Chain A
Amino acid sequence: MDERQSFAEADWTDTWVDMQRKYWDAWLDLSRQTSATKSETAPEFPASPWSQGIDFWSKLMSPAMPSESRSWMEKTLELNQSYLQFGQTLWKILSLGATAEKDSQQWWDTVTQGFQKMQEQATAGFTPSKDPWAGFAALWGMPIDTWRRVSSACSVMPGDMEKALREMGAPSGPGGLPSLVSGWLSTPTLGYTREWQEELQRWGQLWLEHNHSVKDYTAVLSRVVTRAAELLREKFSEQAKKGESLDSLRAFYNVWVDCGEEAYAEISSSDEFTRAQAKLTNTLMAVKRQEQKMVDEMLSGLNMPTRRELDTSHRRTHQLQRQVWRLAQALEDTGVRQLHEEVSALRRELEELRLAPGPTRAAATAPDRRRQAKSDS
């Protein structure tokens, strides 16, 4: 029997925490050593940093961990990725020797320089033609990640198709994948399937346009990183002047988030961002529209219902429903409902009178008899 499977479900959390503690203890020792000395290079970071470390333990514990707990933990850690990355970055900066500084101003200077370097490294790796998501995503992950999910949900093609193609060895130099694809897109179409080839080419052109818009969008977003780092430096400088300190990772993280939001608020309301974001959405819709057209062609060929047919059907049903609503409203407005209610009330009254005892009925019907007598005479 696998040793891992011997964990009872009830005590897996204790075991998990215990195993984690041993793991962290080792790194705590390293941290204590590095904080005592000032060095030029950061100590080698764990092969499995925090986020990956948790993932490792989570997988190790998988057989003992209930599936719903596992997925919850994975999701929670995924949502906290930016915090874990931030902790990792700050750990690196401090391990470089900031803690060896005795003077508060020098300490802040070292931390500030560390963040500056981190930001430069992140943006230096940002080459739009290579990976449009790099740079910004390296530090934040959002809202890029959410956009990828939205793209994926709105398209029959996966949202990260471009990434997949790059990983398959598609060229990533200047022009890269787009130039390769655009060559194919400009090839004249021939033969029996030329119409279909044209549709495919049209889809390819639209997809390229969307690809460009993704790059434009991430290029604008990447400025948030630069601006956030500037704001962070300003805030750190203020802290140093006041002689204040941030005494926890969480406090640092909260300041970092504040700076990110402030920078994002400035940039996201600019015309350039607004245009880039609108183009991102519009080009995605154009791709999706073309996909629908092609899917409809295929469905039609298979003699199956198409989106167009369903739309027509829904439109006609709705038109009918509106007519019914209007007629009902017109009847309502003419007072038919009130008349109907009045007639019903009179009928009820008449029925009650018919069932009533003799004298009451006689009294009620007396005028009728009088009328009858008058007409007889």
Chain B
Amino acid sequence: MLRPDQIMQEMFDFNRKIATGIGTLSQIREIDVGASAKDPVYREDKLVLYWFRPRVAEPAKVPVLIVYALVNRPYMADLQEDRSMIRGLLDQGLDVYLIDWGYPDGADRYLELDDYINGYIRRCVDFICRQHNLASINLLGICQGGTFSLCFAAMHPEKVRNLVTMVTPVDFHTPDNVLSKWAQGLDVDLMVDTLGNVPGELLNWSFLSLKPFRLTGQKYVDMADMLEDPVKLKNFLRMEKWIFDSPDQAGEAYRQFITWFYKENRLVDGSLEIGERKVDLNRVTMPVFNVYATEDHLVPPGSSIALEKHVGTKDYTTMAFKGGHIGIYVSGRAQKEIPRGVADWLKARIH
């Protein structure tokens, strides 16, 4: 049974770890992210389209374009050498492109979903098609980027050879979607009219508020155990950097996303229109590979799984990853399972 003097000793050890951790910290210096060699091949406003240098002699003929969310930064998919989904895809012989949305500022506040999906994504796809002399390419959307990819595929099916969605919200009104419940009473018009762009800090508050005790308390207590190990500490700090590296959200696009998707669930009720184009998921007839995380607290599994009911494709595959929204990119198991799963599925469909 625990005694008071044990507590004292534990507290002392805890504080000693923090003190010695400063020494470890001085060895770390800058927190570097991004493990794979890449080149910017197309730029537009704040968007940069990157092409990753292949890691095999003859990569697949049809490239994959990764569409990341507007929330947080895309380097999560290429965090470090041993935690990189992109590196895994390259090792599997895929030819990979990635859209980096950059950091919107006040001049971007009137960007709409139409600009992002029928504008930026479309032009990136067209650029890659021209580069490879192809009519269509593979699209891999992550989280909100998955929702965008889905919309794009529904509006421009002729440009998408195969569609991969990862931890992608589709049905925003499943009972376990806490973020959606919170959004219902939010006066998003007042918020955007007031703030213009929505600050990344505000979104971070929402995400941290989903599990406040673990994400703002326990996590840092656990960190004390890593302080004597520079490698572990650096890994922790990389994640920490990513979590709080939150770009502001272009106001109009945010207003539309919260209203049309979170509040009104238009994507699945068939009433969604973006830029005067109807988004009909029945038009998603290309092969679809849907990857979701069973412990996802941001995008509940039910929200992703719902995709099967709504798409028009006859070639639909689901992959359940046992882990959370972040673990699907950075956990050790994810490195083995996700790139191989995606690559095997794609290779079987690249003719």
Flag if B26 contacts A13 (CB, 8 Å): no
Of the candidates A13, A77, A140, A250, the one whose C-beta lies within 8 Å of that of B10 is A250
Q: How far is the CA of A281 from the CA of B194 in the complex (A)?
A: 12
B27 CB contacts on chain A under 8 angstroms: none
Flag if A314 contacts B106 (CB, 8 Å): yes
Binds A, one of B159-167, B211-219, B303-311: B211-219
A325 CB contacts on chain B under 8 angstroms: 115, 119
B229 within 8 A of partner (CB): no
B184 CB contacts on chain A under 8 angstroms: 274, 278
Q: Given A13-B20, A69-B26, A250-B221, are A289 and B193 also a contact pair (CB < 8 Å)? A: yes
A268 CB contacts on chain B under 8 angstroms: 178, 209-210
Interface class of chain A by DSSP: helix
Binds B, one of A79-87, A186-194, A353-361: A79-87
- In order of increasing CB-CB distance, the 9 nearest A-B pairs are A278-B185, A318-B110, A31-B4, A79-B220, A31-B5, A260-B213, A143-B212, A289-B194, A82-B217
Binds A, one of B61-69, B136-144, B196-204, B319-327: B196-204
B134 within 8 A of partner (CB): no
B135 within 8 A of partner (CB): no
Q: A32-B4, A282-B187 are in contact. List 15 more A-B contacts (CB 8 A).
A: A24-B9, A72-B22, A79-B217, A80-B221, A91-B4, A99-B2, A99-B4, A142-B208, A143-B208, A146-B209, A150-B205, A247-B6, A248-B2, A288-B194, A289-B193
Binds A, one of B11-19, B84-92, B330-338: B11-19
Flag if A28 contacts B5 (CB, 8 Å): yes
Can you list 5 pairs linking A and B with CB atoms under 8 Å apart?
Answer: A142-B212, A153-B201, A268-B178, A281-B186, A281-B191
Number of interface residues of B (CB under 8 A): 62
Chain A residue nearest to B111 (CB atoms) is A318
A261-297 toward B: CB 8 Å interface, digit per residue (1/0)? 1001000110000110111011001101100100000
Of the candidates A143, A249, A254, the one whose C-beta lies within 8 Å of that of B218 is A254
Q: How far is the CA of A137 from the CA of B316 in the complex (A)?
A: 48
B166-185 toward A: CB 8 Å interface, digit per residue (1/0)? 00000000000010011011
Q: How far is the CA of A99 from the CA of B2 in the complex (A)?
A: 7
> Within residues 90 to 121 of chain B, which ones have a CB less than 8 A from any CB in chain A?
106-107, 109-111, 115, 119
A115 CB contacts on chain B under 8 angstroms: none
A375 within 8 A of partner (CB): no
Flag if A28 contacts B8 (CB, 8 Å): yes
A343 CB contacts on chain B under 8 angstroms: none
A252 within 8 A of partner (CB): yes
A90 within 8 A of partner (CB): yes
Binds B, one of A14-22, A121-129, A166-174, A177-185: A14-22
Of the candidates B8, B23, B186, B194, the one whose C-beta lies within 8 Å of that of A31 is B8
A6-41 toward B: CB 8 Å interface, digit per residue (1/0)? 000000010011001100100110011011000000
Of the candidates A84, A104, A314, the one whose C-beta lies within 8 Å of that of B107 is A314
A147 within 8 A of partner (CB): yes
Flag if A72 contacts B25 (CB, 8 Å): yes
Flag if A257 contacts B218 (CB, 8 Å): yes
Flag if A274 contacts B185 (CB, 8 Å): yes
Flag if B1 contacts A104 (CB, 8 Å): yes
Of the candidates A76, A252, A261, the one whose C-beta lies within 8 Å of that of B18 is A76
> Within residues 224 to 239 of chain B, which ones have a CB less than 8 A from any CB in chain A?
224
Flag if A310 contacts B25 (CB, 8 Å): no
Interface centre among A87, A150, A315 (most CB of B within 10 A): A150
A245 within 8 A of partner (CB): yes
Flag if B22 contacts A252 (CB, 8 Å): no
Q: How far is the CA of A76 from the CA of B237 in the complex (A)?
A: 13
Flag if B19 contacts A16 (CB, 8 Å): yes
Chain A residue nearest to B203 (CB atoms) is A150
Flag if B181 contacts A274 (CB, 8 Å): yes
Chain A residue nearest to B109 (CB atoms) is A314
Flag if B19 contacts A83 (CB, 8 Å): no
Q: How far is the CA of A127 from the CA of B216 in the complex (A)?
A: 26
Q: Given A247-B2, A279-B185, are A79 and B216 also a contact pair (CB < 8 Å)? A: yes
A352 within 8 A of partner (CB): no
B110 CB contacts on chain A under 8 angstroms: 314-315, 318-319
Q: How far is the CA of A246 from the CA of B3 in the complex (A)?
A: 11
Q: Given A95-B4, A143-B208, A257-B214, are A285 and B190 also a contact pair (CB < 8 Å)? A: yes
Flag if A107 contacts B22 (CB, 8 Å): no
B121 CB to nearest A CB, Å: 13
B57 within 8 A of partner (CB): no
